[in-house]
Chains A and B, each alone.
Chain A
Amino acid sequence: MYVAVKGGERAIENAHAWLAEERRGDTAVAELSIAQIREQLSLAVNRVMAEGSLYDPDLAALAIKQARGDLIEAIFLIRAYRTTLPRFGASHPIETGKMHCERRISATFKDAPGGQVLGPTFDYTHRLLDFKMAADGEVAEAPQGPATGQDVPHITEFLNQEGLIQTESQSDDTPPDLTREPLELPANRALRLQSLTRGDEGFVLGMAYSTQRGYARNHAFVGELRIGVVAVEIDIPELGFSIDIGEITVTECETVNQFQGSKTEPAQFTRGYGLVFGQTERKAISMALVDRALRWEELGEDNVGAPAQDEEFVLMHSDNIQATGFLEHIKLPHYVDFQSELELVRKIRAEAVEASALRAAQEAAE
């Protein structure tokens, strides 16, 4: 039996009114603008774009404001908005080799051509609270150096020249799209990467960390980590040629992993790959480690039963919107479901009481 329950309208309206007031906070404190969030909380904006799977810094900033800083709620808002957009097409694959790098480091080669460029990083800060920031907002202009304007080559290219690292298989196939077709398993690598790049940062980080602690260890080195701006190119059907449709910042991580060899092939390094919207390096490194762990079958490794090797476990639990949707729905009214359980338990208990009373009566009679 389905019973519709009504009557919460006024309570809901009033709850929303109070939510709006609490969101605004103390009106004696200046209100945050979308531009302030976009410019000054840019790493939160980046995370919302990456996991919301929509590159639009203004929208992500609006979502963060609306969600009172709850990033998963903000990601939810972006995902919902994304579904309303007509799809104009798909871009040519972005060329990260032509990236205008703002950060580019290698943990494997000190003297990598193109150099070690630190960029605006938290690394090497002391992680001490800076009370000056609570006082004034003046910042000195960052120093400038001579820029070469040249493309920065990928580190793995050098290893590849010597045949020391496994080559990526070439293809121009249209990749599967989990925003159009439900995720089906087994997934190919393209589908896994799409799932991981929009997956929850905390979950992907935890999975990656588990491989480092020994659950399907694959000895990852960060061959290269680069952050910068790339152009996005699409074909314009009405013109019959392609144009750059915009520029986006992405983070790319290539790991160089444990080598393997066989009777027919000499030992060589293998790779893991991470590519994420925005400046999101923790996520990109995590993605590369998990990508590598999920490739066990293709690379002829043993399945040691580690969580990070389990495609079903990783891909079906990495999406924080699916997870939060299912998790949080249990707080919504389940009055009827629960009523039936309650009646069942009462009935079982009553039967048990009756049975024991009967037994006691029989014992007394004997």
Chain B
Amino acid sequence: MTAQNDRKVWMSLLAKSPVTDLKRLWEGFEGAQPGAQSHVWLRAPEIGGVMVRGRTGATGAPFNLGEMTVTRCSLKLPGGEVGHGYVQGRDKDHATRAALVDAHMQTAQSEAIRRGVLDPLEETMRATAETRARKAAATKVDFFTLVRGED
């Protein structure tokens, strides 16, 4: 996997992550670091909207479905690494944590963050989605045909 693809994957994961799970995991990781690094804002957290599009008939021309709330920010670590945070919703702290993870993923700590934050986050989200998929599967109809008549 290329570095860009890798980053796309973790940024997508962070954007969709539940606020409480990322908070717990990031604080757990950060708390274990000696002397937390300060960062400077390149873009302070801001709340905005993204217009979500669909396609006519699922496959045809695009149309505007409606907006969703998004919060974004960009920051720089003392080492010069720039982190971008984009998250669904309006939680500025959540966006900040996403940007911090993104920035630290470009440092020597990346493997530790992957193990301590990203992997468990992905696993939690996968398990939640899996549970819903399994509940849906339990409502799948098994048709059977009743035999009628003599032959």
A334 to B135, CA, bound (A): 57
Q: Assess the B138–A86 pair: CB atoms within 8 A.
A: no
CB-CB under 8 A from A110, the residues of chain B are: 143
Partner of B56, one of A53, A97, A111, A190: A190
Q: A247 and B16 in contact (CB under 8 A), knowing A147-B130, A193-B63? A: yes
Contact count A vs B, C-beta below 8 Å: 232
Partner of A142, one of B7, B65, B90, B135: B135
CB-CB under 8 A from B64, the residues of chain A are: 90, 175-179, 190, 194
Q: A85 and B47 in contact (CB under 8 A), knowing A102-B132, A145-B138, A246-B88? A: yes
Q: Assess the A144–B141 pair: CB atoms within 8 A.
A: no
Interface SS majority for chain A: mixed
Q: Does B61 contact A (CB under 8 A)?
A: yes
A236 to B86, CA, bound (A): 9
A87 to B4, CA, bound (A): 25
Within 8 A of B (CB), among A153-199: 154, 156, 168-179, 189-191, 193-194, 197-198
Most A C-beta atoms less than 10 A away, residue of B4, B52, B90, B138: B52
CB-CB under 8 A from B96, the residues of chain A are: none
A101 to B133, CA, bound (A): 8
Q: Assess the B63–A190 pair: CB atoms within 8 A.
A: yes
Q: Assess the B67–A55 pair: CB atoms within 8 A.
A: yes
- Of the listed stretches B24-32, B68-76, B103-111, B113-121, chain A binds B68-76
Q: Assess the B15–A87 pair: CB atoms within 8 A.
A: no
Residues of B within 8 A of A (CB): 4, 7-8, 11-12, 15-16, 46-70, 72, 74, 84, 86-90, 129-141, 143
Residues of A within 8 A of B (CB): 49-50, 53-56, 58-59, 82, 85-94, 96-97, 100-103, 110-111, 115-120, 142-149, 154, 156, 168-179, 189-191, 193-194, 197-198, 228-229, 231-232, 234, 236, 238-239, 241-248, 250, 252, 254, 271, 273, 275, 277
